[in-house]
């Protein structure tokens, strides 16, 4: 079929690529160039210090501004360089000898120059060094002169602090601009002689990185395609938070961390609200406990841990009584000041019935149950309302949940507590009891552990449970415990009085794709730039920003084929795996 042109479209065989790329107009002034609607200014380096650090140019390369850099390197023949050095050495020797004849004090600057010249001449003669004429040019861009001056001042202040001095190409802006274009044309020819070692320090291919010599692979750095390798247990605290919208890959990312963490001698415990970790537990030989009203797995909130080295039996007992009061406040829909005092006395007497007090050793004592507390309350005055609200947990439909001895443990390397089948109004209570049971077990034995609290916003709905989670985040490091809180409801999490404290007590923060409804809250909480804000809005599955301490990078999460088969939460992929397993079992 022939190509058809509109009547009002004209073409010319003389049109070239340069015509298409060229701006509509260019205006040249002594101090800048006007290229279409943009302004440009070129600067060149005129002086370097005696010593250059390896990463002195990195702050410029990583500067969040629009600019181009061109480095022109012109090798100097060794023969020519040695000839010039002989003349220079003779000149410096002559100055030193002249000062000695006049009886003047030795000049340390001349001595240093002579030593540097001798060292460099030795390096050239031994072929361990080469000499180069180096031109380093920077072209900055802005929308107006005020912004242009501000960017120039920022670059100058960074370089001045390193004793590297730059000047604008006054009356040579056109030549300077062409010298920075990627056409290998050095029209400025403003050179400074550098040998191999300082020249290598200008190496431009550097960027923000989060690569360490130990830890797990979190993903790929989207800035420079380097690996993001990091060990949460190398940070001041071992906690992390992850904010992500639904379907952005937060469970996928978390399960990858679980697999990779298990390879490095750390135990992992997960509170799973949606039964997403069942297949992972089966694949890794972990334990999976289903916590519900009809489940065979039970946790008794009256359990007591043995005291640590710096604790007494009284400290542990008082701490557990405070926890139980907070738990009953959540279970019973709040407690009045009078009821709070009654519960305090009743819990203390309930423990005393089992010969548990501040001075006793309960190592071999069976802890009380909820029915024991009910019996104590029934013998106290003014407890009718409390007993009525407590009855559904002791003899009603919810009695199978709490009123049983504990029959779960977390001695396996990987343990999952699922609350998917728990009624919605009891999920907060269930998460509170599970986290307390984990905390009790953690304090018994010092081991490297990671506790993952998925959908942490459930615990943030109640001040008592949010306070307990914050306490874990603050005290976990003492027991080698890291807390990973994950949520998709950023607003609910940060509205809690404990949301921001948990965030600030987490050395690692992970932001995956965000929804337009929450992005402003996230931007304010993490002090994101507008570019980072839009990056999160436009990110794909498994893409986002990874914060570790003072560093952060854009990240893309990757998994191997085997890992992907284990951790995927894609319904279509899960169904295919389920059918494949069924076919294998049938054969």
Express each pLDDT in 389-436 by its tens digit. Answer: 888 888 877 777 788 888 888 888 999 999 998 888 888 888 889 999
| Helix or strand holding residue 107 (H, E) | none
**Secondary structure class of 544 (helix, strand, coil):** strand
Give the C-alpha distances (Å, rounded to integers) separating 111 from 95, 99, 105, 114, 541. 10, 12, 12, 5, 62
Q: What is the CATH number of domain 300-405?
A: 1.10.8.730
Task: Name 39's bridge partners.
Answer: 34, 142
**227 - beta bridge partners?**
220
Contact status, residue 505 vs residue 261, Cβ threshold 8 Å: no
SS (H, E, C) 113-131: HHHHHHHHHHHHHCCCCCE
Q: How far apart are CA 452 and CA 272, in angstroms?
A: 8
Q: Which two tokens stand for residue 141?
A: 């861009």
pLDDT of the residue at 445:
81
- Tokens 């802005």 locate to 142
What's the token pair of residue 181?
């274009």
Model confidence pLDDT, tens digit, residues 309-368? 777 888 889 999 999 999 999 888 888 999 989 999 999 999 999 888 888 888 888 999
Strand partners of residue 512: 544
Which residue(s) pair with 453 in the sheet? 271, 485
C-alpha count within 13 angstroms, C-beta hemisphere, residue 37: 1
Report the distance separating Cα 503 and Cα 486, nearest Å.
11
**DSSP codes of every residue in 200-260:** HTT--------B-SSSEEEEEETTT--EEEE-GGGSSS--EEEE--TTSSHHHHHHHHHHH
Among residues 19, 174, 64, which one has the least CA distance to residue 552? 64
Q: Residue 320 is encoded by which pair of tokens?
A: 């557990």
pLDDT at 125: 73
Q: Domains of the chain: which residue ranges?
A: 18-75+131-200, 235-295+413-587, 300-405
Q: Of 260, 120, 177, which is closest to residue 557 (Cα–Cα)?
A: 260
- CA distance linking residue 357 with residue 583, whole number of Å: 58
Domains 235-295+413-587 and 300-405 share a fold: no
**521 contacts 490 by C-beta, under 8 angstroms:** yes
Supply the CATH classification number for the domain 235-295+413-587: 3.40.50.300
Cα separation, 285 vs 413, in Å, equals 8
Pair type for strands 240-243 and 508-512: parallel
Whether pTM exceeds 0.85: no
Q: What is the token pair recorded at 116?
A: 């540097």
Q: Are 377 and 389 in contact (CB under 8 A)?
A: no
Rounded to whole angstroms, how far apart are CA atoms 466 and 108? 66
Main-chain phi, psi angles of 233, to 5 degrees? -80, 5
Sequential pLDDT tens for the chain (587 residues):
344 434 444 444 567 777 777 888 899 999 999 998 899 999 999 999 988 887 788 888 878 788 999 999 999 888 777 777 777 777 777 877 777 777 777 777 777 777 777 777 777 677 768 889 999 999 999 999 999 999 999 999 999 999 999 999 999 999 999 999 999 999 999 999 888 888 888 876 555 666 777 888 999 888 777 888 888 898 888 999 999 988 888 889 999 999 999 988 899 999 998 888 998 998 989 999 988 888 888 888 998 888 877 778 888 899 999 999 999 998 888 889 999 899 999 999 999 998 888 888 888 889 999 999 999 999 888 889 999 988 888 887 777 778 888 888 888 899 999 999 888 888 888 888 999 999 988 888 888 999 999 988 888 888 888 898 999 999 889 889 999 999 988 888 888 889 889 998 998 999 999 989 889 988 888 888 888 888 899 888 899 999 887 788 889 999 998 888 888 876 666 667 667 767 776 76
* Strand, coil or helix: 300: coil
Q: Look at residues 10, 9, 11, 34 and name the one whose alpha carbon lies nearest to residue 23.
A: 34
pLDDT of residue 17: 76
Contact 339, 387 (CB under 8 A): no
């Amino acid at each position: 079929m022939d190509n058809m042109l509109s009547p009002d479209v004209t073409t010319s065989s003389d049109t070239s690529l340069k015509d298409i790329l060229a701006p509509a107009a260019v205006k040249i002034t002594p101090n800048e160039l006007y290229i279409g609607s943009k302004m440009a200014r070129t600067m060149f380096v005129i002086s370097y210090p005696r010593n250059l650090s390896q990463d002195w140019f990195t702050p410029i390369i990583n500067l969040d501004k629009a600019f181009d850099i061109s480095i022109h390197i012109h090798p100097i023949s060794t023969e020519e360089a040695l000839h010039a050095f002989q003349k220079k050495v003779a000149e410096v020797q002559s100055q030193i000898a002249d000062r000695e004849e006049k009886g003047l004090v030795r000049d340390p600057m001349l001595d240093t120059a002579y030593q540097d010249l001798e060292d460099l001449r030795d390096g050239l003669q031994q072929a361990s060094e080469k000499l180069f004429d180096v031109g380093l040019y920077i072209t900055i861009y802005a929308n107006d002169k005020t912004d242009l001056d501000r960017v120039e001042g920022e670059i100058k202040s960074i370089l001045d602090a390193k004793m590297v001095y730059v000047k604008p190409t006054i009356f040579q802006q056109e030549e300077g601009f062409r010298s920075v274009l990627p056409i290998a044309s050095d029209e400025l020819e403003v050179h400074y002689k550098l040998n191999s070692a300082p020249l290598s320090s200008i190496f431009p291919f550097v960027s923000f990185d989060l690569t360490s010599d130990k830890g797990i692979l979190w993903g790929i750095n989207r800035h420079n395609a380097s690996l993001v390798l990091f060990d949460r247990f190398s940070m001041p605290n071992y906690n992390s938070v992850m904010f992500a919208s639904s379907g952005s890959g937060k469970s996928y990312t978390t399960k990858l961390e679980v697999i990779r963490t298990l390879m490095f001698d750390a135990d992992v415990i997960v509170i799973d609200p949606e039964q997403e970790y069942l297949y992972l537990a089966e694949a890794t030989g972990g334990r999976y406990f289903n916590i519900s009203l009809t489940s065979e797995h039970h946790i008794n909130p009256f359990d007591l841990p043995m005291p640590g080295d710096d604790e007494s039996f009284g400290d542990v007992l008082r701490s557990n009584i405070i926890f139980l009061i907070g738990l009953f406040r959540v279970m019973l829909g709040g407690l009045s000041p009078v009821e709070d005092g009654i519960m305090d006395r009743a819990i203390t007497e309930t423990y005393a019935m089992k010969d548990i007090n501040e001075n006793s050793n309960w190592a071999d004592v069976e802890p009380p149950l909820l029915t024991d507390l009910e019996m104590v309350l029934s013998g106290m005055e003014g407890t009718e309302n409390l007993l009525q609200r407590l009855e559904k947990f002791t003899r009603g439909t919810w009695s199978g949940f709490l009123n049983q001895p504990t029959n779960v443990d977390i001695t396996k390397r990987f343990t999952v507590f699922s609350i998917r089948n728990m009624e919605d109004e009891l999920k907060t209570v269930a998460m509170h009891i599970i986290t307390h049971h984990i905390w009790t077990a953690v304090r018994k034995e010092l081991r490297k552990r990671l506790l993952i609290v998925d959908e942490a916003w459930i615990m943030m709905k109640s001040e008592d449970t949010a306070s307990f989670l914050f306490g874990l985040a603050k005290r976990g490091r003492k027991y080698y415990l890291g807390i990973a809180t994950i949520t998709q409801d950023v607003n609910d999490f940060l509205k809690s009085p404990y949301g921001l404290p948990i965030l600030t007590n987490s050395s690692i923060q992970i932001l995956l794709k965000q929804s337009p409804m929450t992005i402003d809250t996230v931007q304010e909480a993490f002090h994101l730039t507008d570019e980072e804000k839009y990056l999160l809005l436009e990110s794909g599955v498994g893409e986002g920003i990874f914060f570790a301490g003072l560093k952060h990078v854009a990240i893309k999460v990757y998994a191997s084929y085997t890992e992907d088969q284990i951790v995927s939460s894609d319904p279509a992929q899960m169904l295919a795996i389920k059918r494949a397993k069924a076919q294998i079992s049938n054969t």
